[in-house]
Amino acid sequence: MKRRTFLSALGLGAAAAAISGWIASCSKKEEEQGQGPAVMVPGKTEYDWKMVTSWPPGFPVLGEAAERIADKVNVMSNGRIKVKVYGGGELVPPLGVFDAVRQGSVEMGHSASYYWAGTSPATQFFAAVPFGMNAQQSTAWLYRGGGQELWDELYAGFGLKPFPAGNTGVQMAGWFRKEINSVDDLKGLKMRIPGLGGKVLAKMGGTVVLLAGSEVFPALERGVIDAAEWVGPYHDRRLGLHQAAKNYYYPGWHEPGTTTELMVNKQAFDALPQDLKTMIELACTDAHVWSLAELEAQNSGALLDLVANHGVKVRQLPDDVLRGLKRAAKETVEEVAASDPASRKVYDSFLKFKEQNDQWQNISERAYQYALTV
């Protein structure tokens, strides 16, 4: 009534009446056609899916990205596809994700492809490579440089469809009980550092200790290990690693921009209508951008806090140490590429893209970063 009065006061009584009449006739037409009004009414759930992850329940950013994908897909599809997310160990072990999705006991998994190196060494190139590509470069390779096609081909062999679904950005080199001043300081160093990074450290004379997240802090604090890498300031502070060692080294040469993945059982994915396939793809793209943005935002604040309030000494790895690690990384990755044809094929594409793109990065991103320091 108020609206009618207001419109009447403006001399628009006739228009108001016409609009009201039109709205009423539209509603009537919809009723006649058996359609409800065009408001959000949850659609019938057509797909009730499960997503297992490698992350502890409630894990910041990486676990949140998995939840975010499930939420976005639910909202976009108006409830036609519902995905329940499980933390690592809740339904299958954290490293059981690949097999669970592959066998079809669940439809989706959120993880990082380097965990499957034992099944297929080529998977590692889609997550992180020591001295490999940063987040910007690997994103370009995956989306626009042929990386996704190679990933699709590799995973199709396991009955899976992969999507990039997050990136950590450059990680930190880790927490060290003692300072690292030369390559000799790496000899005999007992460090928690998984994957290819661990192989590189072993080549430099270090000893790799494999520990799950929850075991890292007590081992470092008690001196069972001399050093440990985890992710970056935001995650590392949460694990309390600054209370176990004070030397916090950069850069994360071993994980220069780790891509996380969403894998979908291929048979289940192929059976979806095209609109739902596109929604899953877009939810992954969203998670990819969101993860990187969230970590860029959170890491900077956490780093300031660690330095200002926790006595953390942030140190750069010396040039000769980085040089040695880089040489060992090249050897390590070449060995992987030589170990099977799939790895060779993926690494050739990875390396070709990186070498070409490095030329551009040198005069764009890196030149700009340098310009800030002059």
* Binding interface with Ca ion (CB under 5 A): 171, 255
For residue 151, what is the DSSP state? H
Q: Are 231 and 294 in contact (CB under 8 A)?
A: no
Residue closer to Ca ion, measured from CB, 80 or 235 = 235
Q: Which is nearer to Ca ion, 36 or 118 (CB)?
A: 118
Nearer to Ca ion, 50 or 192 (CB): 192
Instruction: Report in angstroms how near the CB of residue 217 gets to Ca ion at its nearest.
Output: 15
* Distance in Å, CB of 210 to Ca ion, minimum: 13
Minimum distance between the CB of residue 254 and Ca ion, rounded to whole angstroms?
Answer: 7
Neighbours of 285 (CB within 10 A): 14
Scanning the chain, the segments in alpha helix (DSSP H) are 2-9, 13-32, 62-76, 97-103, 135-144, 147-156, 195-203, 213-222, 233-239, 266-270, 274-310, 319-339, 341-363, 365-371
Q: Please say which residue, 204 or 264, places its beta carbon nearer to Ca ion.
A: 204
Closer of 226 and 255 to Ca ion (Cβ): 255
List of long-range contacts for 184-189, beta carbons under 8 Å, 24+ apart: 185/321, 186/321, 186/324, 189/226, 189/227
Q: How far apart are CA 374 and CA 76, in angstroms?
A: 47
To Ca ion, the closest distance from the beta carbon of 231 in angstroms equals: 5
The DSSP line for 351-363 is HHHHHHHHHHHHH
In the complex, the smallest distance separating the C-beta of residue 42 from Ca ion, rounded to whole angstroms, is 39
Angstrom CA distances, 99 to 51, 158, 263, 306, stand at 13, 9, 11, 39
Nearest to 108, CA basis, from 172, 173, 163, 49: 49
Minimum distance, C-beta of residue 320 to Ca ion, in the bound complex (Å): 23
> Phi/psi class of residue 159: alpha, beta or left (left: φ > 0; alpha: ψ in -120 to 50)?
left
Q: How far is CA 16 from the centre of its chain?
A: 53
Alpha helices for 135-252 (secondary structure H): 135-144, 147-156, 195-203, 213-222, 233-239
Residue closer to Ca ion by CB (options 49, 217) is 217
Of 120 and 171, the one with the shorter C-beta distance to Ca ion is 171
Q: Closest distance between Ca ion and the C-beta of residue 256, in Å? A: 11
In the complex, least distance from residue 255 CB atom to Ca ion, rounded to whole angstroms: 5
Q: Put residue 146 in one of left, alpha, beta given phi > 0 → left and psi -120 to 50 → alpha.
A: left
Strand order in the sheet with 108-111: 81-86, 47-53, 108-111, 259-265, 160-167
In this complex, which beta carbon is closest to Ca ion, that of residue 171 or of residue 332? Answer: 171
Quick one: 74 or 138, whose CB is closer to Ca ion?
138
Nearest approach, Cβ of residue 77 and Ca ion (Å): 34
**243/255 Cα distance (integer angstroms):** 23
